[in-house]
Amino acid sequence: MYIILWINTPMVRKYFYLCEALTVGYFMTQLLSFWNFIGRHKYVITVVAFGLIIGFLDENSLVRRAKYRHEINQLNSEIERYQKEYQKSTELLNELATNPEALEKIAREKYLMKKPNEDVFVFEK
């Protein structure tokens, strides 16, 4: 099916024949070929769509799971650090409660306390 287009110009009159590519039949054939493509590859399209949803779009996506795993590892290392600090503090407290020499050592080093007949010199690095 061809459509004839008549153009009036002052210089030239021409007939333009538009090819069948601009007719409705061409668009229908393209639409049918698109549906045929989908029909032939429906399982591949379904698997790819499922992979995108699971990998990126879902609330429990693989990307979020990796981020959560990283955050859990960081929190576990922080817990270990605080447990070590707690153990050190507990040992120091037990030592201070049982040993008066340790109490004197902490008072001298940390709080710069002195006996009445002593002078304290502080050297900074």
For the chain, how big is the Rg over CA atoms in Å?
42
Q: What is the pLDDT of residues 6-60, one digit of tens each?
A: 445 444 344 344 444 455 567 778 888 888 898 899 999 999 999 888 888 888 8
Residues 6+ away with beta carbon under 8 Å from 20: 1, 2, 26
SS3 119: coil
Contacts of 96 (CB under 8 A, 6+ apart): 102, 103, 106
Whole-structure pTM over 0.85, yes or no? no
